[in-house]
Amino acid sequence: MNHSSNANPLFRSFQLGGMTLASRIVMAPMTRQFSPEGVPGENVARYYRARAENAVGLIVTEGTIVEHADASNQANVPHFYGAAALQGWAHVVREVHEAGGRIMPQIWHMGARGDVNGYSEAEIAEIVQAFADAAAAARRLGFDGIELHGAHGYLIDQFLWERTNSRTDRYGGDRAARTRFAVEVVEACRAAVGPDFPIMLRLSQWKGVDFEARLAETPEQWAEIVNPLVEAGVDVFHCSTRRYWQPEFADADAELNLAGWTKKLTGKPVVTVGSVGLDGDVSRFFREGQGAANTGVDEIVKRLEREEFDLVAVGRALLADPAWARKLRDGRTTEWEPFAREALQTLR
């Protein structure tokens, strides 16, 4: 039996700035650590091309590291600096474009120190410049835009979160003041790429160290975060939740998830994500090593048609099955391959 009665809305085109996406399905960024010494090889190009060939409208790469000493503590996470790594990414772009796909690198600083209180203002300026340099490189290599990773407890998010930002200078303070670092990163990237190159920002409430963490308890508080980022130059928000169907704010609209609220508050296009096509959320995988069974997409389609969000990011389901989107489009969902821990070890 098919899992979906009508997935057609997921395969309508979408205009993002001057770029047309062939479907509403986005490949979510997923760290795999298959780039020895930070250099993506032919296997990485094959991996992304396989999704582009199978009806994914936009690929967001795994997190790629900016040039700063604390940006990563994982040797095989790909870099987005240095001649060898950038040459590898140029090949990835060519392969994806040849397959008819669109692709953005996710630009990342892991914030390996755990909080932001020890960074001097001079060092912050260096990190901001590192993001801008990566953004400029993305445009130079032919990528279709960039995503800045501002979620899950990594560096940009650490500045946003009061538990990891107790600074008393201009980078700390109340909720709006804590956006300053993110704003400076976005502004620097915008200056580096020009006005017509899409900048997407990934945000979340939950953190890798605390699945129940919250930056905002109300839509009004969330607006204090997202509105300065719009002014800085964000074109589209990628709103990471663990379960896309759950309402974000208890005392507000019972329907809207984080992406829905972000679209309502900013008027900007948004991407939703969170266990799309699977019956278990990502925390089960990280805490227990659990896989997940495939489920239907009727609920996500219904919300898409209501225009709660514009694009739908699919993570683990696409990791397990490169042809997940094409099978959905063609009504072959009984052929979906289930997500299991082993999917992280493949080069498919």
**Residues annotated as catalytic (active site), given as ranges:** 154
Residue 252: Cβ-neighbour burial (10 angstroms; 0-12, 13-18, 19+): middle
Gyration radius of the chain over CA positions: 19
CA angle 272, 237, 219 (to 5 degrees): 80
Residue 126: Cβ-neighbour burial (10 angstroms; 0-12, 13-18, 19+): middle
What's the rounded Cα separation, in Å, for the pair 94 and 101? 10
CA distances to 159, 204, 208, 253, 255 from 271, rounded to whole Å, are 22, 12, 20, 19, 16
**Residue closest to 303 by CA, chosen among 24, 51, 15:** 24
- Which residues are 103's β-sheet partners? 59
Q: Hey, is 168 helix, strand or coil? A: coil
Q: What is the dihedral of CA 182, 186, 187, 193, to 10 degrees?
A: 160
Asked if 74 contacts 38 with a C-beta cutoff of 8 angstroms, the reply is no
Asked if 122 contacts 155 with a C-beta cutoff of 8 angstroms, the reply is no
